[in-house]
Amino acid sequence: MAPAAPPPAVVLDAVTKRFGKGPQATIALDHVSAEIRPGEITGLVGPDGAGKTTLLRLIAGLLTPDDGKITVLGHDSANAVTAVQQDIGYMPQRFGLYEDLTVAENLRLYADMHGLDEAARQERFHTLLAFTALGPFVERLAGKLSGGMKQKLGLACALLPRPRLLLLDEPSAGVDPASRRELWRIVRTMAGEGVAVMWSTAYLDEAERCDSFLLFDNGRLLASGSPAEFSQRVENRTFLLAVPSGSKHSVQRRAAADPAVADAIIQGERIRLVLKAGAALPDGPALGGSGAPQPVRPRFEDAFVSLLQGRTPERAEARTARPPGEPSAAAPVDGAAIEARDLTRDFGAFRAVDDVTFTVSPGEVFGLLGPNGAGKSTTFRMLCGLLEPSSGSARVAGVDLGTARAAARERIGYMSQRFSLYGELSVRDNLDFFSGVYGLDRARRRQRIEWALESFELGPVARQTSGSLPLGFKQRLALSCALLHEPKVLFLDEPTSGVDPLMRREFWARIGALAERRVTVLVTSHFMDEAEYCDRLAIVYGGRMIALGSPDDLKRRFVSDALPDPTLEDAFVGLIEAQGTQVAS
Amino acid sequence: MKRMHLVGLLRKEFLQIVRDPSSIAIALVMPIVLLIVIGYGVSLDARGVTFGVVDESRSVASAGFFDAFATTPYFKPTDFTNTRDAEAALMRGDIQGFAVLRSDFSRNLEKPGHAVHVAVVVNGVDANNARIVTGYAQGAVAVWARGRQTDRAMTAAATVTLESRYWFNPEIRSTNFIVPGLIALIMTMIGALLTALVVAREWERGTMEAMMVSPASMAEIILGKLAAYFVLGMGSLAVSMGLAIFLFQVPFRGSVLALVGISAVFLVVALAMGLLISTVARNQFVAAQLAFLVTFMPALILSGLLFDIESTPVWVRVITFIFPARYYVSCLQTLFLAGTVHEILLPNVLILIAFAAVLLTAAIARTRRSLE
Amino acid sequence: MLRRILSLIIKEFLTLWKDPKSRYVIVAPPLIQLVLFANAATFDVTHVALGLWVEDTAHPATELVSRFEGSTAFDVVAHFDNPGDVERALSAQRVKAVLHLGQTFSADVLSGRPAKVQLLLDGRRSNTALIVQNYAASILEDFQRQRSPKPDAGLQLETRAWFNPNYDSKWFILPGLTVLLTAVATILITALSVARERELGTFEQLLVTPLRPMEILLGKALPPTCIGFVEANVIAGVAVVVYGVPFIGKILLFHVAVAAFAISTIGIGMVISSIARTQQQAILGVFIFLAPAIVLSGFATPIANMPLWSQELTRINPIAYMVRLTRSIFLEDVSWAIAWHQLWPMLLIGIVTQAYSTWLFARKLQ
């Protein structure tokens, strides 16, 4: 530590922000106090709606706090907004770019806004374009850039005035892991030059890479400090338990229900266990595992989940909730549950999906992984009958989608990213509606709605408007609607985006139980930890399937001396890089 | 205000306008389409009214009566032999009215001092049109009667004739007052609707936020935005003026300078309204509804564009005062048809300037706070 | 199949009713427009501001002047004695018309010479000017008749306006408004309902259910039809009860007409919604259709006054057919036979647009 530590870039002193007035006011930030140091990357972590964006806007001077004081770079933000804004680089969500302006024009606009003179301008453009490798694309419209390039351009614009404070609001949302790493490299360099960086993210693995973090939940600051110290809270309490193949879901459920276990998640063919403080290590075989649990280095997420569970025991309960008591699934389908053969889809001259072939067996949880725009959604949509393939065929539950679409639809359930429910309707109205359009008769309808209300614990909110429910309830309602007609195949499109890790665990517990009852699940995701739940993964990139295998298979391909235990993200980035060199050669 | 900020913002706005054809389409194509559709489609002048003449007398006099209708541009007369047929045609909508000449028509006409009754029936379903058709019919008959008198060199008893002169619009074309009014409608649409949509898009894409964090001030950001769309709006004013004068042959008697000045003030009012709408209604659906309700509808109905404000009930007249369109429509109709009448223009312009000041201040204040 | 469609219809009504925005769209604009149009959209001319420029103070002239002063149509607001003042007052819109009697008027009348009465009108609003001229002409006619009780072989026109003897603007604005507001409601609801589902992602959810495209379209078309019926009946009711517009036609025919009309407007709404991806586009589409369709419907100005090409355009405009038909049902008691001429084009437009939108939907899924 240097003898005279530089003054903090941002000081938050009991900052409170409310939206709305009177009894309906919601508290976005509740007495938050913290210090942000220069030369560090500070991660703002928490689920959607936790207050991350509000905090960044407060610091940027876009909002004023209702209570408390914010000091930014030595100025009180309440009365020195313009002085402060000279030294702030801010990148809002979706990067704040003018999409119908070119790269150069966007940069020039921001240079004008910051009043850079000609010489300084040339020097900054040169540096930043080299830095971001956007040099060859200066004449391209920002709207025509890929997600990763947009993100770098947004960052370049924010960096233009040599800010002393850099505010990044979810800079990595929807960007593929390779671009994400590139972004980290750039921001890390900036921090090295003494810039204070605030980086908000919903990815817990990103929090781990920050120098310090602020963890938010519902507007309250739950924890802060260095990620490493935080992870040490669960030191010696994290283990990996190998399981016999095909039993990971049941083992995971048994482990999660164990009183000694705070958290149990699937990681490929192993179960990751986080023990409660002071609890004795449970016996591996007793949980159904093969051998004893092996100690493993704790992660940020482990500490986070155990912290959240300590705070809200009722939510911990929900995680181990009864799995949906599916009456025995219909007789298993012969052969593959999903079969994609030479699937190709063109949009005009653009080939979005190019000759994708794979099969999914009944009861398998199959993941489609890839960056935005790689073709995973298009593949997904062709498989659930929303899009007709240009060539090739898709069979679901033994029925050809091309010839018997209606028959196929009776056998599939579908849940989209946005939990597509009718927000104005009550929970019960939604269930009524979906049971109706699936043609359930009166008796069956009553029985299935009862089942949904009970096993998804929606009974208490049955009369509430579904749009006003918390995200977790919406997600449960969406899943229950997709299961009303007891489908054989379940399609999930980014099912857990924006929900907190506890809800995500609860959700996957239900999916695991379904898989055990031989319901086939096809899921798309860009969360790597989510992909770990899958039995097999298909990685889609540039419209083609570049890899297929179990998460462990994929990871194993990238084991090296430097990386003895690669993560799924390492594997993903490796695969995409290999693809890049193939194209180049 | 820094020059560099403004120049930068303006360059950005213009690049965006050039790159996004939809705003140019709204600014330049919409005025043309609206003017042509409404300018041609909405006419209060009856021409070639289908009119029946039931001629039971079959005489020279009755044929002359028929010709009186045939020779004016207002009527396209049809001959009927009995009332029943004419009534049926009226019911079918084939004719808009008819006159009945009884079999004793020409005989009675010869009898001095005998009044001849001619029944005229018009379809009153469209009340306004019916009234105009009635007026035309009376005019046509009067002309015919006068002609007969001179033919027969009859020195009739004192006849008082009404000589009407229509100032400012001698051909009494409704196009002459509707088209100038339409320009107000178009300027409202461009100013309010386009701005509301464009600003909504900036919010959606997060660019508004990014600009607000930069050292450029709120006033500069708004000024840059307004200036760009102001130029676009003045462009569509030029297009509309060209169409009005050359295509629709509306006379323009006022000063061009006054027109440009007044239009500039009104455009600022409309732009500020659009800005205000976009801050009140963050949601596009509500914004469109609101824009329609507070800008388009009043500009159409409560501005004097089509309907005469002075004939409405008092409470409606009071409401019209709070919508800026009425002041602009009044200026436009005067500038086009009457000339630069300071007595009308001055108070209207002052009120518009007051609107501009109030709305602009409100828009800047609200935009600054609209992240809340 | 029936059960599936029924579920869809129940859901449509629930979403429409429970969503405050949709509720607002169905209820508020029609109400505001009803009140506004009924009162502000008038071609009637009342209380005309009249200026007098009388250079003759003898007897017949004063009699004529007092007739104008006594008339309910005119309010005498100014007296002039020179042309300059007249011109200024007309320009500044202080008066709408000026009655000018020259110095020799009384003498001419008394001596049997043709006498002239000059009426100077502000022609800026040509429509108003024409009506004012009519008012003046009829006062003058009365004056003449009074003066020569034995009318010379003159003609006397006895005008009668069938169906609307008092030329009341409300009688033709309100039946037209019934059509207009029904059209706006049905088209907007139809166009938005699909676009909203598409934006919220629920449309895909619908598409992966066993519902067939035909069933979805049917489920989407029936609720707006019902709302169209309610709206048409309410507005017609208000027109009759509050504003005293007569309804002498056949109620059954009115409902058949509303049904045919709803089929056509919902078809158009469907076409818009099958093209639009977002609610904003849908609103824009509705506007692009409605603005010219209303202008060219004969609602405010007669179709017969339009140039030929736009008269031809009204042949594909369901609103034009319905405005004509509704007015004749209200005021004329039109027969089924004549009504059929307006009914079949609406049905045809409905069938064509519905078929086209079905085809568009089916194509979009591929």
Which residues on B lie below 8 Å from A94 (Cβ)?
205-206
Burial of C177 (0-12, 13-18, 19+ CB in 10 A): buried
Residue C257 in this model has a pLDDT that exceeds 90: yes
Query: Taking residues C151-178, what's their average pLDDT?
Result: 76
What are the residues facing A166 on neighbouring strands? A89, A197
C271 vs C269: CA distance, rounded Å:
5
SS3 C34: helix
Q: Identify the CA nearest to A430 among candidates A489, A495, A478.
A: A478
Instruction: Output the pLDDT for position B319.
Output: 87
Kindly tell me the number of DSSP H helices and DSSP E strands found in chain B: 17, 5
Cβ contacts of C177 on chain B, cutoff 8 Å = none
Averaged pLDDT for residues C32-56: 84
Lowest-pLDDT range, B95-109, C68-82, C335-349?
B95-109
User: Closest residue of C to A487, CA-based?
Assistant: C209
**Is the Cβ pair C137, B135 closer than 8 Å?**
yes
Measured CA to CA, the distance from residue B202 to residue B219 in angstroms comes to 16
- Check A416 against C201: CB less than 8 A apart: yes
For a pLDDT cut of 90, what percent of chain C falls above it?
27
Q: Which of C180, C288, C28 is nearest to B189 (CA)?
A: C288
Q: What is the pLDDT of residue B101?
A: 86
For chain B, what percent of residues have pLDDT higher than 90?
15
Tens digits of residue pLDDT in A175-214: 777 778 888 888 998 899 889 999 998 888 888 889 999 9
- Give the mean pLDDT of B45-68: 85
The stretch B256-275 carries a mean pLDDT of 92
Q: In what helix (H) or strand (E) does residue B186 lie, and over which residues does it extend?
A: helix B175-188
Determine whether the interchain pair A82/B217 forms a contact, defined as Cβ–Cβ distance below 8 Å: yes
Min Cα–Cα distance to chain B from C347, Å: 20
Say if the Cβ atoms of B172 and C126 lie within 8 Å: yes
Report CB contact under 8 Å: B210, A157: yes
Instruction: Indicate the residue type of A389.
Output: P
* pLDDT at res. C145: 73
Specify the higher pLDDT residue, A298 or B117.
Answer: A298
CA distance, residue A526 to nearest chain B CA (Å): 22
Is A555:A268 a contact under the CB 8 Å cutoff?
A: yes
User: Any alpha helices (H) in chain C, and if so which ranges?
Assistant: 2-18, 20-40, 59-70, 83-91, 105-111, 126-147, 169-200, 202-207, 213-241, 251-275, 279-295, 308-313, 318-327, 336-364
CA distances from A390 to A350, A397, C242 (A): 12, 21, 61
- A520 forms bridges with which residues in the sheet? A489
Q: What is the 3 state secondary structure string of A311-372?
A: HCHHHHHHHCCCCCCCCCCCCCCCCCCEEEEEEEEEECCEEEEEEEEEEECCCCEEEEECCC
- pLDDT of res. B331: 92
Instruction: Give B224's contacts (C-beta < 8 A, 6+ positions apart).
Output: B5, B6, B9, B10, B12, B13
Per the CB < 8 Å rule, is B209 touching A110? no
Best residue in C126, C128, C329 to probe B by mutation, most B CBs within 10 Å? C126
φ, ψ of residue B59 to 5 degrees: the values are: -130, 175
Q: Cβ contacts (< 8 Å) between A139 and chain B: which residues?
A: none
Pairing mode of beta strands C97-101, C115-122 = antiparallel
From residue B307, how far is each of B310, B323, C42, C43, C206 by CA, in Å?
A: 9, 15, 6, 6, 47
Could you tell me if A110 lies within 8 Å of chain B, comparing CB atoms? yes
Phi, psi of A122 (to 5 degrees): -60, -45
Q: Do C119 and B127 touch (CB under 8 A)?
A: no
Q: Which chains touch A (3 or more CB pairs under 8 A)?
A: B, C
Q: How many CB atoms lie within 10 A of CB B266?
A: 30
Determine how many CB atoms are found less than 10 A away from the CB of residue B161: 14
Q: DSSP letter string over A149-170?
A: HHHHHHHHHHHTT--SEEEEES
Res A327: pLDDT: 44
| Helices A471-483, A427-437: crossing angle, 10 deg rounding | 20
This prediction's pTM: 0.79
CA distance B325 to A3: 69
CB A385 within 8 A of CB A569: no
Instruction: Please identify among residues 338-357 of chain C the ones whose CB lies closer than 8 Å to any CB of chain B.
Output: 338
Cα–Cα distances (Å) from C155 to A511, B51, B136, B139, C152, in that order, read 94, 19, 15, 12, 8
State whether residue A138 is helix, strand or coil: coil
Is the pLDDT at C327 greater than 50? The verdict is: yes
- In sequence order, what are the residues at sequence separation of 6 or more whose Cβ sits closer than 8 angstroms to the Cβ of residue A409? A385, C208, C209, C210
Of C37, C121, C148, the CB nearest to B167: C121
> Burial, B322: exposed, middle or buried (Cβ in 10 Å; 0-12, 13-18, 19+)?
exposed
Helical H segments across A143-299, by residue range: 147-159, 177-192, 204-209, 227-232, 248-257, 284-287
Q: Which residue of B has its CA nearest to A91?
A: B210
C348, pLDDT greater than 50? yes
Q: Are B263 and C1 in contact (CB under 8 A)?
A: no
Single-letter code of the amino acid located at B314? V
CATH number listed for the domain at residues B49-154: 3.40.1710.10
Nearest Cα neighbor of B177 from B47, B330, B361, B53 is B330
Contacts of C116 in chain B (CB under 8 A): 160-161, 163
Contact indicator for C127, C81 with CB cutoff of 8 Å: no
DSSP letters of B42-92? ------SEEEEEEESS-SHHHHHHHHHHHTSTTEEEEEESSHHHHHHHHHH
In chain B, the residue whose alpha carbon lies closest to the alpha carbon of C122 is B167
Distance in angstroms (rounded) separating the CA atoms of residues C271 and C355: 9
Name A162's Cβ contacts closer than 8 Å, sequence gap at least 6: A124
Arithmetic mean of pLDDT over chain B: 83
Tokens of B12: 């950005």
* Partners of residue A141 in chain B, C-beta under 8 Å: 19
- Nearest C-alpha in A relative to C14: A425
Parts of chain B belonging to CATH 3.40.1710.10:
49-154
Across the strands, what pairs with A264? A273
Nearest CA distance, C1 vs chain B (angstrom)? 33
CB within 8 Å of C178: residues ≥ 6 apart = C232, C235, C236, C239, C326
Which residues in A lie closer than 8 A to residue B19 (C-beta atoms)? 100-101, 141
**First vs last Cα of chain B: how many Å apart?**
25
pLDDT of residue C260: 95
Q: Please say if the pLDDT value at position C154 is more than 60.
A: no
CA angle B258, B272, B305 (to 5 degrees): 55
Shortest distance, CA C39 to any CA of chain B (angstroms): 6
CB-side neighbour CA atoms (13 Å) of A451: 20
Residue A312: what pLDDT? 57
Distance separating alpha carbons of residues A547 and A554, to the nearest angstrom: 8
Q: Would you tell me how many other CB atoms lie within 10 Å of the CB of residue C14?
A: 19
- Across the interface, of A60, A92, A100, the residue whose CB is closest to B19 is A100
Q: Is the four-CA dihedral C339, C340, C341, C343 of positive or negative sign? A: positive
C-alpha dist (Å) from residue B106 to B111, B116, B149, B240? 9, 9, 14, 54
A528 or C176: which leads in pLDDT = C176
Q: Could you read off the pLDDT of C206-247 as tens digits, one per residue?
A: 888 888 878 888 888 899 999 999 999 999 999 999 998 999
**The pLDDT of residue B158 is above 50:** no
Question: Cβ of A222 under 8 Å from any chain B Cβ?
Answer: no
How confident is the model at residue A330, as a pLDDT? 47
Rounded CA separation B144/B137 (Å) = 11
Q: Is the pLDDT of residue B223 over 50?
A: yes
Instruction: Give residue A399's identity as a one-letter amino acid code.
Output: V
Choose from C7, C192, C196 for mutation: most chain A CBs within 10 A. C7
Tell me if A113 and B216 make a contact (CB, 8 A cut-off).
Answer: yes
CB contact under 8 A, C204 and A433: no
Note which residues in 6-45 of chain A have CB less than 8 A from chain B: 19
What's the CA gap between B249 and B107, in Å, rounded?
48
Which chain A positions have a beta carbon within 8 Å of B206's beta carbon? 92-96
Minimum mean pLDDT among A574-578, B21-25, B320-324, B357-361: which range?
B21-25
SS3 of residue C156 by DSSP: strand
Residue A331: its pLDDT value, please? 47
- Regions of chain A where pLDDT drops below 50: 1-2, 315-333, 583-585
- Which SS3 state, helix, strand or coil, does residue C36 take? helix
**8 A C-beta contact, residue B312 and residue C307:** no
DSSP symbols for C166-220: T--HHHHHHHHHHHHHHHHHHHHHHHHHHHHHHHHTHHHHHHTSS--HHHHHHHH
End-to-end CA distance of chain A: 47
Residues from chain C that touch A417, judged by Cβ atoms under 8 A, are 201
Of these ranges, A99-108, A239-248, B22-31, B147-156, the one predicted with the greatest mean pLDDT is: A99-108
Return the DSSP state at A426. B
